[in-house]
Structure 1
């Protein structure tokens, strides 16, 4: 009896301590459907401050009016020993998405992660190029933690003693439904700081929560038109003559080309970098750059930020650098204005000011064996962990600002990003090279507020080359990266014509891609996103992959939940289902509603699983009923500002359809001043006859659209 009494007193004491440690969170609605909560004393330097972006209020004001999407009292937090403990409620049938740019998994429930900027090393454990501390639920809400720290995440993995809905206790000896991962009703996070800002995003749909997140971060990026064309990155030691020859070969062979990327050899020395032109390979950089611009081909430069002792800026920036070096190059503390003035001023002088269109920012992500360690000291006082989490963000921010001040849009590549980076005109890439995982990353990019390119570098066969190229065309940046191999689009003669057809298709679809990126900016809708964000898509969440379990090797191994990670939505109307080397057929899961073949307009199915054999020449693509795809003629380069282009509007199915066709000058930031237009296209079909129209251009607004024609793709 005495033991029971003391045990009861002990439990009451623990309950009292838990409530004492828990701190109330005051929620403030800062934008429609977005609430901010503060716990403890958040650090001054965080992700949103590093990104320096402002919410796109106009877009947020257009979002549906909604209430707080969770029970506020069920979100708990407390600060203890300089760490912040967070807990968010989780219902039994919820699925979770996000937690950064993952490469192998879409479903994140049941994961233990450490969100840590790093180069991807083949496992979804939180260490990735964009470990965005943002997740969304299938119940239609999102959560973002604004902290520049390595955050530990337990996404429905740990069962609390005080759980409101605890899992059922089962006997492993006799109950075959026993699980080594019992149900948990909480998402818990540990932030190694004495406070944090928490943002909650309402829906009502999961896509709406993502839209609010992107709009809070300034809206998605709107690239220049030329950024959506085709890019070829050169072999690393190419020279000015090689650049001219490359552009000439593309033109003679009839392959489109909008910008050429120069790799490390443009600099006199790299690893560490001098940031100066190599005069033996590029004796007159300005003449080379301007000569290419006259041919409508832009130049993009590779760099990393690590400053060589032989760099002209070395002595000036040395006082503003970290305690440790990378490849014997100093690391500028670009969180400091003085360091930024020197470093980014050098990227502008003799580069941007002679016409360089953009940068590829390499090695700002990780590799613990070569990047600065967590014991490094930075003169700003920001510690190495904070700098690791934000360096890629800041590289994007401060190069973008140079172009913005010039009223000149850019589009580049970067190896790291994080929360707050949605609006930056950069696409993530890496050194990993798995085609299937590249597509999964493209699926997940829409959950992370980033863009991702499944770039093409090399292949063992012509079949693999074409398959990689096909999916690359249906991505944010169509690119061959030949820095090591020197490959060209025509490197595999047996598929050279098919590759050219796909490259031409990329150009033909530019009005569609450009309009979808405009929606990314103005409405926050990711242009490439998971099927789970599409209305009518059920997927196969309840099924599990057939897997033979070996409980001798791993007593806690369990079947893996089946995910749909090899098909995705591209813009408003297109479903893309890539093929991989060795495949002759594949299954495609169609959402509810009628879907049609993109190439022929033929009916494909309605809410069913279909098996397709597209042949080598095509990547399976489907258009939803009522879909409208604006196309332009094949061109070798993107249209220039003021250049009128004819548009063919392709209409699929029988359902009446509408589409918002975006137009601006394609090169400047004048759209921020209202100098743009969305023209509404409407199409319907009655008894096989087409009724169509497009709204006129308002006086004083951009008008780069020439003759408009309509084409019925279905039922001809």
Structure 2
């Protein structure tokens, strides 16, 4: 392949024939960024995911990745355009493992499955329905494929066989009369991944080259503009108060946290802050919040940020209704308008109102709910707009559903960015090329196993997942869920239907009658210990997100991404890497102990300091306050003295824990609240420990010091 200089982004075009039932058409293969090629053929849709990606590829960072490589000839990707639509076929090796298709809830390794990644508010039955659908997957052979469409697309992941005229007989196995045996697919599926895109008249396919799985994922994230870098306070603790709390009750809750030294950075207000919520007015309910500016200002003085719940459907009582009436779809949702976010003027109107009414008054973020369609698994779920909806921009309802959450979060995020204010949003749907948006997805589902799986799958999607804590069956359930939340991208307690924090009373009815558990103060102390660890971990987490932004490395990712040749990790969905040096292995309430697998190398049990040889399985039995994490040899883990909240001028006093005789680490240092880092206003701090001595090397143009290294401790 010819090397392409990217000073001018010279396009490499390959014209080749296409086997097409209708006619032979030309296709182009264009190198659009280092290690990223685009196949174009036919008349591609106007409203594709990449058409809405405003962030520019980080070309300089992409050039620093290892030399691009594909395990097959790109011209072997076949495309057929028929009266039905488009079919794409990508070569697939017999031992190849596949991951992705967005934030999948019910599956991990997608090899052999049929997946239809469609946005849906209650994913079920492993159909591919998800809050965060993408038409993107990655292979352990070292590449990624994205079919650039917002149409409902079905992927057959090595699960089909062609009729080539000479079909070999398949021997029936014992037990052949069972339903499972009769329906089993033993046909030796052909070596392709097929993508079926009904209705399309052409297609664009993005190919992200390796040479390894992590490099391919880095290229995807960097091509999307680089990974998100949230405000540093957003990586602390978020707590959503009861939906019907009034202003004084919010203040009372805030006082409880500070009086009891429980770390919380963000307070979230649920629907009743508005005059109408389904659909939304975006107007303060003065019966509940008579002086919202006083609330915002008084909470700020105590170190809190305020986050507001909403959704995008505009009520007739809203000031936005008249301006958006002719800029919305031809169907209503909860008697509210559906804004045409595919139109830039519509997004500007919607976002501009939020800027002037909330953001300039000090609101730090929004929870963007209900943007993920009705539950497609049930005929009775009909609240959202139909797929045959039409919008002034020309986009249809099917495509709008797939893009709605992405365009919604983009509208709000862009206003913050224009004001040079960083945020950390919540959103219930996203899509492809969302890597740069600091928006954590969440779900009304609540299976703990699935929540852990989505932490792992988020690394294949360029998305951020929030396994929030709500109700609990038992104290064990509460504590194990709290551990998972602490070991995720967003630590969130959602008490929208609880009078008191869930650690004071796990029973909903008793909680709302102020009947606290007899041992509530002890459980509170245990939760405080977990949350203090989260606050200690902030410098490390913040650096992991900086590496996400500048290098494209997912801060939370499956073991297979770092160890793509280790067959033992191909199916491990309940362990994951955090940053470069931490392996997490969460537990649920189902068991007091679990088996873990540690990949090659040496690891250290964080709780005991015990050195453990990799390539082996172990059984662990952590207590409720012992986080199930293992530290990779050669890691310097910078843990800070825990803060109750992160202020603009907070300094982190850090102890560097050294794992191994020679170890290295880094810290990213900036103001944590603006986009000045994009202008180079940050420091990179190199940490090293050799020959019994720790060293710090601070480089950069950020004048202040957020981190103070107080001591070094070697773990033996």
TM-score w.r.t. length of structure 1? 0.90
Q: How far off its partner does 1:31 sit?
A: 1.2
Asked if the contact 1:214/1:220 (under 8 Å) is kept, the reply is yes
Q: Is the 8 A contact 1:235 1:484 kept in 2?
A: yes
The match for 1:74 is 76
2:284 is the alignment partner of 1:256: no
Instruction: Quote the residue 1:682 is aligned against.
Output: 688
Q: Which residue of 1 aligns with 2:635?
A: 627
Displacement, 1:410?
0.5
Q: Which residue of 2 aligns with 1:125?
A: 127
Within 5 Å, give how 1:636-675 maps onto structure 2.
Answer: 636-641=644-649, 643-654=650-661, 656-675=662-681
Indicate how the Cα distance of structure 1 residues 350 and 603 shifts in structure 2: closer, same or farther if over 3 A, else same: same
Q: Does 1:180 align with 2:182?
A: no
Aligned equivalent of 1:420: 433
Question: 1:189 and 2:195 equivalent?
Answer: yes
For the 8 Å contact 2:638–2:657, the answer to whether it is kept is yes
The question of whether the paired residues in 1 share the 8 Å contact of 2:465 and 2:488 is answered with yes
1:158 Cα offset (Å): 1.0
Of the structure 1 ranges 608-617 and 255-264, higher mean CA displacement relative to structure 2 is found in 608-617
Distance 2:550 2:292 in 1: 37
> Which secondary structure state, in structure 2, belongs to the residue aligned with residue 132 of structure 1?
strand
Cα distance in 2 for partners of 1:59, 1:674 equals: 15
1:279 maps to what in 2?
Answer: 286
Q: CA deviation at 1:315?
A: 2.1
User: Partner of 2:466 in structure 1?
Assistant: 453
Higher alpha-carbon deviation: 132-141 or 41-50: 41-50
C-alpha change, 1:380 and 1:181, in structure 2 (3 Å) is farther
Structure 1 match to 2:617:
609
TM-superposed deviation, 1:251: 0.5
Hey, what's the Cα distance between the residues in 2 that align with 1:75 and 1:24?
A: 14
Conservation of the 8 A alpha-carbon contact between 2:666 and 2:684: yes
Counterpart secondary structure, 1:325:
coil
Residues 215-258 of structure 1, C-alpha deviations (whole Å, 9 max, x = no match): 00011100111000001001111121112111110001110010
Corresponding residue for 2:604?
596
Note if 1:33 corresponds to 2:35: yes
* CA distance in structure 2 between the aligned counterparts of 1:624 and 1:402, rounded to whole angstroms: 40
Preserved contact between residue 76 and residue 90 of structure 2 (Cα < 8 Å): yes
Contact 1:584–1:613 at 8 Å: present in 2 too?
Answer: yes
Q: CA, structure 1 residues 468+175, in 2 after alignment: closer, same or farther (shift >3 Å)?
A: closer
What does residue 317 of structure 2 align with?
310
Contact 1:105 1:563 in 2 (8 A): no
C-alpha contact 1:39 1:196 (8 A) present in aligned 2? yes
What does 1:182-221 correspond to in 2, within 5 Å? Answer: 182=187, 183-192=189-198, 193-221=200-228
SS in structure 1 at match of 2:685: strand
Displacement of 1:348 = 2.0
Residue 171 of structure 1 corresponds to which residue in structure 2? 171
Q: Which residue of 1 aligns with 2:497?
A: 484
C-alpha distance after superposition, 1:524-578 (max 9, x if no partner): 111111111123873537xxxxxxxxxxxxxxxxxxxx83111111111111111
Residue 576 (structure 1) aligned with residue 584 (structure 2): yes
Report the counterpart of residue 137 of structure 1 in structure 2: 139
Residue number in structure 2 paired with 1:48: 50
Report if aligned partners of 1:144, 1:198 keep a CA contact under 8 Å in 2.
yes
Q: Secondary structure at the residue paired with 2:206? A: strand
Contact map agreement 1:632 1:648 (CA 8 A) in 2: yes
Residues 595-617 of structure 1, C-alpha deviations (whole Å, 9 max, x = no match): 10113321133210001122333
Cα drift, residue 490 of structure 1 = 3.5
8 Å contact kept, 2:18–2:25? no
1:638 Cα deviation after fit: 1.5
Structure 1 residue 52: deviation in Å? 2.4
CA deviation after TM superposition for structure 1 residue 594, in Å:
0.8
> What's the RMSD between the two structures over aligned residues?
2.2
Contact 2:459 2:558 in 1 (8 A): yes
Residue matched to 2:391: 378
Question: Matched residues in 2 for 1:168 and 1:650: separation?
Answer: 60
Contact residue 542 and residue 668 of structure 2 kept, 8 A: yes
- When normalised by structure 2's length, the TM-score is 0.90
Q: For 1:480, what is the secondary structure of its paired residue?
A: strand
Q: Distance in 2 between matches of 1:132 and 1:16?
A: 26
User: Compared with structure 1, are the counterparts of its residues 350 and 80 closer, same or farther at alpha carbon in structure 2 (3 Å cutoff)?
Assistant: same
Given that 1:322 and 1:333 are in contact with CA atoms closer than 8 Å, whether structure 2 keeps it comes out as: yes
- In the alignment, the residues of structure 1 paired with residue 658 and residue 206 of structure 2 have an alpha-carbon distance, to the nearest angstrom, of 40
**Comparing 609-618 with 147-156, which one deviates more in the overlay?**
609-618
Q: Is residue 91 from structure 1 mapped to residue 104 from structure 2 by the alignment?
A: no
Mind listing any 5+ residue stretches in structure 2 that lack a counterpart? 1-16, 377-381, 506-519
Note if contact 2:113-2:158 (Cα within 8 Å) is conserved in structure 1: yes
* SS in structure 1 of the partner of residue 698 of structure 2: coil
Q: Which deviates more, 75-84 or 382-391? A: 75-84
Q: Note the 1:529-544 alignment, pairs <5 A.
A: 529-535=557-563, 538-540=566-568
The count of corresponding residues between Structure 1 and Structure 2 is: 672
* Distance in 2 between residues matched to 1:342 and 1:447, nearest whole Å: 33
Q: Give the structure 1 partner of residue 379 of structure 2.
A: none
Superposed displacement of residue 698, structure 1: 4.1
- Whole-angstrom distance in 1 between the partners of 2:646 and 2:335: 41
